[in-house]
């Protein structure tokens, strides 16, 4: 029936959970980390015009590309190393657009397609679609205008700042640093706001958070208890409870993913004191392995089901 191609890095226990389910069901699985394995441990050829088709060879598999049943795109290594030489930059770009382009053009199901993932990671797109499907959203401003930021802070205090995308950052001491959701002191909103885009949001007076993981039609809602504004800062202080989704949330989440042509998504909501879940974001390639371990939610099995599901090729 063809291989399920898993694109991820070598050390990915989350992908291992899905691969375990696929193996137990007798599926043929080929694993590849294109950014790390190619060209040292993998080779490929793809034909366009004349005779179609192509093949991929990994350390353990020879894969007929036209016969690939599904692609599970997880966390592959980037094609370009940090601070590449000119030769490394050239080779990495050719690999990304060559091998990467071939892997993105296979006529099969993707969970999720890498180009769809990149498009869906833009927060303004997420907020626009969240509004269309009926999610409540905390008052949010994306701007580089200091006056608008100050006006927003005055209208919605307390306000928090979030990066529009998690980005590697080094602190003044030279240590790697992560910028979490952070309370904003309105007095600090000076002209430095104009230097780039900023996301400001009214802080939710919340009683809990929800992490809602959607795989196809399956929806897993986990209530997260944490004393922190951003629970990701300390996983040791979190409690987890598998709960039913609030009314209407599952259908809206599936509609959200449908508009982005995605079959998987990890949503974050803050639950306000009145019980209303407020949409914060959706990670189209979000982590979920630790949630299954904490609650027993069968997310890996649901993703395996999705990859093995019969469907018409485009």
Question: Is 67 contained in some domain?
Answer: yes
Same domain, 132 and 146: no
Same domain, 95 and 57: yes
Same domain, 125 and 146: no
Question: Is 65 contained in some domain?
Answer: yes
Same domain, 79 and 55: yes
Same domain, 224 and 128: yes
Q: Which domain holds residue 157?
A: 140-202
Nearest Cα neighbor of 140 from 131, 127, 125, 122 is 127
Question: What's 265's domain CATH number?
Answer: 3.30.470.20
pLDDT of 311 above 60: no
Question: Is 49 contained in some domain?
Answer: yes
**Cα 68 from chain centre:** 23
Same domain, 254 and 124: yes
Same domain, 102 and 173: no
8 and 31 in contact (C-beta within 8 Å)? yes
Of 202, 217, 240, at which residue does a domain stop? Answer: 202
44 and 102 in contact (C-beta within 8 Å)? yes
Same domain, 190 and 214: no
Same domain, 129 and 160: no
**Cα 106 from chain centre:** 21
Split into its structural domains, the chain has a count of 3
Quick: pLDDT tens for 149-196: 999 999 999 999 999 987 777 777 777 767 788 999 999 999 999 999
pLDDT band, very low/low/confident/very high, at 231 (cuts 50, 70, 90): confident
Quick: pLDDT tens for 79-90: 998 889 999 999
Tell me how far apart the alpha carbons of residues 101 and 27 are, in angstroms, rounded to a whole number: 25
Q: How many CB atoms are located within 10 Å of the residue 58 CB?
A: 19
Question: Is 314 contained in some domain?
Answer: no
Same domain, 152 and 218: no
DSSP class of residue 136 equals B
Quick: pLDDT tens for 251-277: 999 999 999 999 999 999 999 999 999
Question: Is 113 contained in some domain?
Answer: no
Phi-psi region of 176 (alpha: psi -120 to 50; beta: other; left: phi over 0): beta
DSSP H or E stretch at residue 31: strand 29-32
Give percent of the chain above pLDDT 90: 84
Question: Is 56 contained in some domain?
Answer: yes
Same domain, 163 and 297: no
Distances (CA, A) of 42 to 30, 57, 206, 263: 12, 5, 49, 28
Question: Is 254 contained in some domain?
Answer: yes
pLDDT of 235 above 90: no
DSSP string over 171-193: -TTS-EE----EE--GGG--GGG
Phi-psi region of 261 (alpha: psi -120 to 50; beta: other; left: phi over 0): left
Q: How many CB atoms are located within 10 Å of the residue 236 CB?
A: 4
Quick: pLDDT tens for 86-134: 999 999 999 999 999 999 999 999 999 999 999 999 999 999 999 999 9
pTM above 0.85, yes or no: yes
Of 202, 220, 252, at which residue does a domain stop? Answer: 202
Question: Is 112 contained in some domain?
Answer: no
Same domain, 196 and 286: no
């Amino acid at each position: 029936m063809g291989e399920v191609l898993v694109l991820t890095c070598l050390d990915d226990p989350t992908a291992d959970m899905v691969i375990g389910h696929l193996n137990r069901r007798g599926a043929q699985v080929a694993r590849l980390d294109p950014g790390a394995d190619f060209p040292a441990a993998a080779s490929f050829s793809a034909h366009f015009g004349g005779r179609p088709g192509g093949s991929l060879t990994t350390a353990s598999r020879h894969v007929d590309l036209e016969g690939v049943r599904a692609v599970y795109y997880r966390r592959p290594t980037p094609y370009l190393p940090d601070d590449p030489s000119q030769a490394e930059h050239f080779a990495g770009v050719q690999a990304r657009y060559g091998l990467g382009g071939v892997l993105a053009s296979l006529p099969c199901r993707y969970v999720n397609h890498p180009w769809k993932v990149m498009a869906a990671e833009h927060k303004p797109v997420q907020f626009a679609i969240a509004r269309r499907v009926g999610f409540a959203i905390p008052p949010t401003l994306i701007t580089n205008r200091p006056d608008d930021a100050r006006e927003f802070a005055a209208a919605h205090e307390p306000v928090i700042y979030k990066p529009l995308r998690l980005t590697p950052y080094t602190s003044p001491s030279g240590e790697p640093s992560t910028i979490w959701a952070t309370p904003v002191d309105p007095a600090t909103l000076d002209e430095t706001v104009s230097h780039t885009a900023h996301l400001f949001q009214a802080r939710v007076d919340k009683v809990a958070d929800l992490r809602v993981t959607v795989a196809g039609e399956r929806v897993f809602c986990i209530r997260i208890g944490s004393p922190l504004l951003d629970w990701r800062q300390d996983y040791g202080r979190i409690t987890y409870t598998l709960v039913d989704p609030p009314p209407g949330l599952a259908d809206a989440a599936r509609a959200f993913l449908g508009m982005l042509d995605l079959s998987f998504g990890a949503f974050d909501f803050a639950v306000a004191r009145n019980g209303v879940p407020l949409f914060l974001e959706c990670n189209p390639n979000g982590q979920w392995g630790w949630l299954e371990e904490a609650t027993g939610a069968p997310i890996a099995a649901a993703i395996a089901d999705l990859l093995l599901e019969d469907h018409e090729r485009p």
